[in-house]
Amino acid sequence: MYTNRTSSISVINNDNHEILPKSDTQWKEHEQNVSHDFDSSDGNDISDESYQINKRRHMARQHRLNGNTAFYSDDYQQSIDLYTKSLSLDENIFTYYNRAIAYFKLNDYNASIQDCFQVLKINPAHITALYHRALCYCINQQYDEGQRDLEYLLTIDSDNFEAQHLLNRIILMKKTPSNHEVINMQSIIKSLKDTSMHLEDEHINYNTASSMDMNIAFYENANSDHDNHNIDPFHTSSLNEYDDEDIALGDE
């Protein structure tokens, strides 16, 4: 049985645990209510063109946040669908990156690489996208491409231990492609797959040497929020709040 906490579907079950809508109808109802909440705000105070642009961006952000909720519920296909809806409204760097991570979780490494390309078109110095694309290349045994990404990453962040370690293994693998090194590389990749998949959002500055650690901090904070039943899983409480970093692309 589902109950609504607000007019914009914030769904909880009888145990006060947040859950995702289970059907297309419930998702559609949620999206309609999100749009209605936006239309009920102060849209008359700005020009119609600006209003429509802001509405698209706001709806895009809502889809991205819902995609994050689906991701943390291990519903990776649903998160991809929501990120794709978001991108149809606003090509946001965070959405591309998060969708790349979701594709990775479904072992679609080529699609993940393509989304990393989109991230790097917006910000060529995006450290985690460079690292993630290099990891995908390694999984695909495209070691030359992976090496190039890691070498470029290290020109931006020379103290990045994870990138240097993976680069060293690639170089060794290319020099001595023995069965032993193949097994070592597979083991390293498996370990990295389990530890490097974290989402990003506006408040993270990923152009610093500690950016990968900050991803981990965000992941822990997001999981903490998700476990708190007083938190709206669809972030409907912030539907009428705006700030510049929600809208701007690139270095946020």
The answer to whether position 42 is within a domain reads no
Q: What is the CATH classification number for the domain harbouring 129?
A: 1.25.40.10
Instruction: Name the least confident of 15-24, 161-170, 192-201, 208-217.
Output: 208-217
Asked if residue 25 belongs to a domain, the reply is: no
**Domain of residue 62, residue span:** 47-247
**pLDDT for 18 beyond 60:** no
DSSP per residue, 101-166: HHHHHTT-HHHHHHHHHHHHHH-TT-HHHHHHHHHHHHHTT-HHHHHHHHHHHHHH-TT-HHHHHH
- The domain tally of the chain equals 1
Query: pLDDT by residue (tens digit) across 229-240?
Result: 333 433 333 333
CB 132 within 8 A of CB 196: yes
Q: What confidence score (pLDDT) does residue 54 get? A: 86
C-alpha dihedral, 116 to 120 to 122 to 123, nearest 10°: 130
pLDDT exceeds 60 at position 119: yes
pLDDT in tens, 142-169: 999 999 999 999 999 999 999 998 999 8
The reported pLDDT for the residue numbered 187 is 73
Residue 39 placed within a domain: no
8 belongs to a structural domain: no
Task: Give domain status of residue 24, yes or no.
Answer: no
* pLDDT on residue 248: 31
* Pairwise pLDDT comparison (21 vs 11), residue with the higher score: 21
In tens, the pLDDT along 59-115 reads 999 999 999 999 999 999 999 999 999 999 999 999 999 999 999 999 999 999 999
Q: Is residue 22 one of the residues assigned to a domain?
A: no
What's the pLDDT at 250?
A: 32
Q: What is the mean pLDDT of residues 182-205?
A: 65
